[in-house]
Structure 1
Amino acid sequence: MVLACHNLKKAFLEQVIVKNGSFHIEEHEKAALVGLNGAGKSTILKMIMREIPADDGEIILAKGKTIGYLAQHQALLSGNTIYQEVESAKADLIQMETQLRRLEEEMQKKSGEELEQLLHTYHKLSAAFERADGYAYKSEIVGVLKGLGFAETEFDKCVDNLSGGQKTRVALGKLLLTKPDILLLDEPTNHLDLNSIAWLETYLSNYPGAVLLVSHDRYFINRVVTKVIEIEFGEIMMFNGNYSEFAEKKKLIREAKLKEYLNQQQEIRHQEEVIRKLRSFNREKSIRRAESREKMLDKMDRIEKPLEHHAELKLHLEPTVISGNDVLRVEGLGKSFGTHTLFQNINFEIKRGEHVAVIGDNGTGKTTLLKILNEVIPADHGTFTLGSNVHIGYYDQEHHVLHMEKTIFEEISDDYPSLTNTEIRNTLAAFLFTGEDVFKRIGDLSGGERGRVSLAKLMLSEANFLILDEPTNHLDIASKEILEQALNNYTGTVLYVSHDRYFINQTATRILDLVNQSFVNYIGNYDYYLEKKEELTAAYTESAAQTDASSEETASESKLDWQAQKELQAKERKRQNDLKKLEEKIQKLEEASAKLDEELAKPEYAMNSKKLMDITNEKAEIDTKLWDLYEQWESLAE
């Protein structure tokens, strides 16, 4: 066990964060801390890091273990470049490398005994440097930076001038390279594109230490963790498995508790009715029987009703007018900023009822495309045409459609003057704005609160074509699930940009992948996209080669590279499967050998030479098999 939290208690005035919570993280374990916004996830991480004190309880980090923490917001002002900042995680290796170079220079000038001493020191330091993988640290730095979405041309940028999201990525890269025994990560996928998130999944899954992460990215949690720790109503519960398994277990537990509670309530009502009836007979025997039942009822252990989150979004989207079958036609669309071309000659159509997700790397122009379709900015060339009776409802991740100087109430009442005060308050209450909250200025709201106002306006718009830019940003998991259900029940058309793969998987019927300044079309959800991506990308590359004779040779080489890569991947998968099977066999035989050792130690066999001989022979046979398996494993591991 690398980290243990026992009987944690924490409250801010009357707000109880955790009542009496306990959990632990084993070595090499990957765990997620989940809960609604405001449940206290980040607070727990800060308590573990001693940034804020717990009111009571104990936090234990195993002796000699190191811990690393990534907060949601970073304030890097070191004056370093991106590369220098991340490279500082390898300061000990850099120092060793400098010593080695110095020793090499000195050895050229020395001879005899002095040279022998220098050689001894050099070999010792060189061995330590090699054990620490010192010869690969530079390529490791480059790999991590590229994995987190930084191009080599950006390595020399000063961290002081980076955006908040870029600083967080730099801090994450630096933390990963320090390789602590346990990583605490607060929303690590924020500010990462899909490729970077996929890279981080693989990195964390193979990370030699333990990981405790807070994330609203359910797809990411599913692929990384083997344990989910939930904080709800100040209580902490642990569940083995990934997010999907946790959600299913949680649902079953809740249903069982509710059923148990309802059954007991039914029994209580039945007993109370029987007691009332017995008393109504007004006979001595019937009254004694009623009193006996009352005593039994008083002794009954009452089951508390399972708590519910009443503060949930109530989102219902439905168009008032049905659009024509052709909703949107885009022809030859292109956009550049200066010499940087985002996309060119884009063509696609959207039909009524389709739910289309636009995906792609950061900076490829996804949000720009939505802004063009909403006439926020113009295209450089090309056209787009809306079908008949198409009415757009736009959700902007930067919330430019909101007026920062207005109150929440004014934002709704000014756009929908026909609504009464009561109707406006009821609508806002459905989006968790009650009482005096409705008079808060939009400019004073958090990102999540502004998102809820935008969703409220979207619901009231009754549009039949929703264009959404990162609609799940700042939403907790429960709110995301409510939005997913609302979109799946929506009979209109949806076009959206999102990095939330779980959300895409639940809501998309089609995916447009913006890659190499053009779209690749996938008819299906995110799982389908992953399945077909390599196949369609290869076909797309081959098709492009046929239309451009000058690139035919390059395309052919790409295809060969791809096929070779697939063969290598298949061989590697087979090797890993064989290793796993061998390890399972070894474990079974080692367990059998250990049991035989226990048998040999039993006093009752001390004088039974035949039994001892049988056990010894069986153990020798197992040990021989183990020896062969060890050799096979070593060969495969190489």
Structure 2
Amino acid sequence: MILSCQNICKAFGEKVILNDASFHIEDREKAALIGCNGAGKTTLLRIIMQELSADSGTVVLARDKNIGYLAQYQDIHGHHTIYEELLTTKQHIIDMERRIRNMEQEMNTVTGDELNCLMETYTRLTHQFELENGYAYKSELTGVLKGLGFTEEDYDKQIETLSGGQKTRVALGKMLLSKPDILLLDEPTNHLDMESISWLETYLLNYPGAVFIVSHDRYFLDKVVTKVIEIEAGQTRVYSGNYSAYALKKAQLRDAQYKAYLNQQRDIKHQEAVIAKLKSFNREKSIKRAESREKMLDRVQRIEKPLELQDRMRISLEPRVLSGNDVLHVEALSKAFPGQTLFSDISFDIKRGERVALIGNNGTGKTTMLKIINGLIEADAGKFSLGSKVQIGYYDQEHHVLHMDKTIFQEISDTYPTLTETEIRNMLAAFLFTGEDVFKEISALSGGERGRVSLAKLMLSEANFLILDEPTNHLDIASKEILEEALVSYTGTVLYVSHDRYFINQTATRIMELTNQAVVNYIGDYDYYLEKKEELTSTYAPGSTSPEAPAEEKSVSENKLSWQQMKEEQAKKRKREAELKKVEARIEELETRDSEIDETMVLPDVCTNVAECTKLSREKAAIAEELEELYEKWEELA
């Protein structure tokens, strides 16, 4: 065991955040800490790091072990470049290397015992240098930088010029390179693109120490963790397995608790009815029996209604007007900024009812694409058109259409005056605004809170084409699940940008990836995208073989097929795969029957029966004929 938390309690005023929270982390274990926003996850991490003191309870770190802590927001100062800042984690190796070089020089000037003594020290030091990966520390450093999404051009950027997200990535890189015995990571994937998150998953899986992660990224947790610690109503509960295993066990436990609650409620009502009936007889004996039953009922320990079943919100999204079948047509669209071409000659269509995820690395033009379609910026070339009766509802993290002088409640009620107070409160509760929170002014909200208000407004808009830019940012897992259910049942059309792979898997019917200035289409969810990514990228969006070749010289028609051709080709391939499985199943069925006939024909009561033998022989011949055709078909399909 490397870390133990025992009976941790913490309250702020009358609000209890942690109540008797207990758990432990084993050496090399990868564990997640999850819970709704405000449940106390960051508070618990800060107590572990002794940045906050607990009201009671103890935190025990194993002897001679050290912790590395990545907070959500980093404010790194100094005049270092990004490369120099990460290099500070290897200062002891640099000093060791310098000492080894000095000793090598010194060996040329000493003899006898002094040389022997120097050689012993040199051998010990070089061995230590090798153990600490001294010969490869520079490649390790550049590997971490590239893994976290920094290009070689970024290495010389000054720390003080970086954005908050870039500083957090630098801090994460420093921590990974310093290799503490236990990593405490608070939302480490917030500022990473998909490739960087995938790299981090692999890094943490192979990390030699323990890892304790706070994250709302369910796909990431599924890949990395083997234990989930949940904070709910101040209490901690430990589940073995990854996030999916936790979700299943949680649902089973919740169902069992709910059934126990319903059974007890039924028993209580039955006892109350019996007591009322006994009292109605109005006789001394019946009244005494009623009083006896009342005392027994008072002693019953009441089961609380499970928290997640108390009026759990369900958002219902329904477009007011049904659009035509053709929702969006994009033709030969191109966009570039000085020194950077985002995409060129891109064409695709979106049909009614599709839920399309637009993905790609940071800087490929995803948000720019959404802004062009929403008419906020102009394309350099190409055109797009909306179909009949299409009404766009747009969620843009950078341009929230909110009134700073209004409260959250006024913002919704003024926009949708027909909604009742209960309906408005229910919608806001789904986006984490409860109680007096709904009367906060928009101007006093954080960027994430304003985003959630904008998302709540959009969900009420009755638009039939939703365009969403990172809709799950700043939502906890429960709110993400509510949004997922709403989008899956939505009868309109959705186009969204997201880095949340679990969300994409749950909601997308199609994925479009912006890569190498082109778009690659995947008719399926995120798992299907991962399976086909390498194959389809090389076919439809190959990288330029010559970096010096101008983009204008690339023949787009030669490099990639149109979206329609891609769609048709993928559909044919999937149809062929389905047919292949069908043929294989029929072959297996016929071969099994053929074996059964052989076994049947040697039975004493069958081999002497001419009619039965003739019937079986004909069936066997028909099987042989059909099998011959199936084998040919299988070879053709395979």
Q: TM-score range by the shorter chain?
A: 0.7 to 0.9
In the other structure, the counterpart of 1:461 is 461
Classify 1:222/1:426 alpha carbon distance in 2 versus 1 (closer, same or farther; 3 Å): closer
Please state how far the C-alpha of 1:351 moved relative to its aligned partner.
0.5
Classify 1:399/1:55 alpha carbon distance in 2 versus 1 (closer, same or farther; 3 Å): farther
Please state how far the C-alpha of 1:291 moved relative to its aligned partner.
4.6
- C-alpha distance in 1 between matches for 2:424 and 2:8: 41
Q: Is the 8 A contact 2:430 2:482 kept in 1?
A: no
Scaled by the length of structure 2, the TM-score of the pair is 0.81
Classify 1:264/1:421 alpha carbon distance in 2 versus 1 (closer, same or farther; 3 Å): closer
* Number of aligned residues: 552
Q: Which range moves more in the overlay, 107-116 or 79-88?
A: 107-116
- C-alpha distance in 1 between matches for 2:147 and 2:69: 19
- C-alpha distance in 2 between matches for 1:48 and 1:8: 10
For residue 480 of structure 1, give the secondary structure of its aligned residue in structure 2. Answer: helix
- C-alpha distance in 2 between matches for 1:396 and 1:24: 41
- C-alpha distance in 1 between matches for 2:164 and 2:265: 53
In the other structure, the counterpart of 1:200 is 200
In the other structure, the counterpart of 1:135 is 135
Q: Is the 8 A contact 1:399 1:450 kept in 2?
A: no
In the other structure, the counterpart of 1:59 is 59
Q: Which range moves more in the overlay, 31-40 or 116-125?
A: 116-125
- C-alpha distance in 2 between matches for 1:57 and 1:139: 43
Classify 1:266/1:413 alpha carbon distance in 2 versus 1 (closer, same or farther; 3 Å): closer
- C-alpha distance in 1 between matches for 2:130 and 2:31: 32
For residue 274 of structure 1, give the secondary structure of its aligned residue in structure 2. Answer: helix
In the other structure, the counterpart of 2:211 is 211
Q: Which range moves more in the overlay, 151-160 or 295-304?
A: 295-304
In the other structure, the counterpart of 1:250 is 250
1:190-219 Cα shifts (integer Å, max 9, x gaps): 100000000001111111111101000011
In the other structure, the counterpart of 1:274 is 274
Alignment of 1:236 with 2:236, yes or no, is yes
Q: Which range moves more in the overlay, 428-437 or 129-138?
A: 428-437
Please state how far the C-alpha of 1:159 moved relative to its aligned partner.
1.0
Classify 1:434/1:211 alpha carbon distance in 2 versus 1 (closer, same or farther; 3 Å): closer
In the other structure, the counterpart of 1:41 is 41
Alignment of 1:32 with 2:44, yes or no, is no
In the other structure, the counterpart of 2:19 is 19
1:565-592 Cα shifts (integer Å, max 9, x gaps): xxxxxxxxxxxxxxxxxxxxxxxxxxxx
In the other structure, the counterpart of 1:297 is 297
User: Match of 1:361, as an amino acid?
Assistant: N
- C-alpha distance in 2 between matches for 1:191 and 1:332: 31
Classify 1:456/1:301 alpha carbon distance in 2 versus 1 (closer, same or farther; 3 Å): closer
Q: Which range moves more in the overlay, 199-208 or 436-445?
A: 436-445
Alignment of 1:478 with 2:465, yes or no, is no
In the other structure, the counterpart of 2:452 is 452
Please state how far the C-alpha of 1:506 moved relative to its aligned partner.
0.3
Classify 1:229/1:378 alpha carbon distance in 2 versus 1 (closer, same or farther; 3 Å): same
For residue 452 of structure 2, give the secondary structure of its aligned residue in structure 1. Answer: helix
In the other structure, the counterpart of 1:624 is none
Please state how far the C-alpha of 1:251 moved relative to its aligned partner.
1.2
Q: Is the 8 A contact 1:331 1:345 kept in 2?
A: yes
Q: Which range moves more in the overlay, 371-380 or 271-280?
A: 271-280
Please state how far the C-alpha of 1:120 moved relative to its aligned partner.
2.5
For residue 531 of structure 2, give the secondary structure of its aligned residue in structure 1. Answer: helix
For residue 185 of structure 2, give the secondary structure of its aligned residue in structure 1. Answer: strand
Q: How does 1:307-456 map to 2 (within 5 A)?
A: 307-308=307-308, 315-409=315-409, 411-412=411-412, 415-416=415-416, 428=428, 431=431, 433=433, 437-456=437-456
Q: Is the 8 A contact 1:48 1:59 kept in 2?
A: yes
For residue 51 of structure 1, give the secondary structure of its aligned residue in structure 2. Answer: coil
Q: Which range moves more in the overlay, 347-356 or 309-318?
A: 309-318
- C-alpha distance in 2 between matches for 1:80 and 1:268: 69
For residue 275 of structure 2, give the secondary structure of its aligned residue in structure 1. Answer: helix
Please state how far the C-alpha of 1:112 moved relative to its aligned partner.
4.3
Please state how far the C-alpha of 1:491 moved relative to its aligned partner.
0.3
In the other structure, the counterpart of 1:68 is 68
In the other structure, the counterpart of 2:588 is none
Q: Is the 8 A contact 2:431 2:475 kept in 1?
A: no
1:82-105 Cα shifts (integer Å, max 9, x gaps): 111111111111110111111122
Q: Is the 8 A contact 2:205 2:224 kept in 1?
A: yes
In the other structure, the counterpart of 2:165 is 165
For residue 95 of structure 1, give the secondary structure of its aligned residue in structure 2. Answer: helix
For residue 75 of structure 2, give the secondary structure of its aligned residue in structure 1. Answer: coil
Q: Is the 8 A contact 2:403 2:411 kept in 1?
A: yes
Q: Which range moves more in the overlay, 248-257 or 274-283?
A: 274-283
Alignment of 1:7 with 2:20, yes or no, is no
In the other structure, the counterpart of 1:533 is 533
Q: Is the 8 A contact 2:35 2:41 kept in 1?
A: yes
1:439-493 Cα shifts (integer Å, max 9, x gaps): 5332321233212211222123211000000000000000000000110111000
- C-alpha distance in 2 between matches for 1:430 and 1:137: 48
- C-alpha distance in 1 between matches for 2:283 and 2:406: 72
- C-alpha distance in 2 between matches for 1:484 and 1:93: 49
Alignment of 1:84 with 2:103, yes or no, is no
- C-alpha distance in 1 between matches for 2:179 and 2:344: 42
Q: Is the 8 A contact 1:34 1:41 kept in 2?
A: yes
- C-alpha distance in 2 between matches for 1:264 and 1:205: 45
For residue 461 of structure 1, give the secondary structure of its aligned residue in structure 2. Answer: coil
Please state how far the C-alpha of 1:149 moved relative to its aligned partner.
0.4
Contiguous gaps of at least 5 residues in structure 1:
553-638
1:299-348 Cα shifts (integer Å, max 9, x gaps): 43433333347696653221111111111111111111102111111111
In the other structure, the counterpart of 1:600 is none
- C-alpha distance in 2 between matches for 1:510 and 1:313: 27
Scaled by the length of structure 1, the TM-score of the pair is 0.81
User: Match of 2:300, as an amino acid?
Assistant: M
Please state how far the C-alpha of 1:403 moved relative to its aligned partner.
4.1
- C-alpha distance in 1 between matches for 2:53 and 2:315: 38
In the other structure, the counterpart of 2:627 is none
Q: Is the 8 A contact 1:323 1:464 kept in 2?
A: yes
Please state how far the C-alpha of 1:536 moved relative to its aligned partner.
1.8
User: Match of 2:68, as an amino acid?
Assistant: G
Q: Is the 8 A contact 1:399 1:451 kept in 2?
A: no
Identity percentage of aligned residues: 67
- C-alpha distance in 2 between matches for 1:369 and 1:400: 18
In the other structure, the counterpart of 1:491 is 491
Alignment of 1:104 with 2:104, yes or no, is yes
Classify 1:267/1:314 alpha carbon distance in 2 versus 1 (closer, same or farther; 3 Å): closer
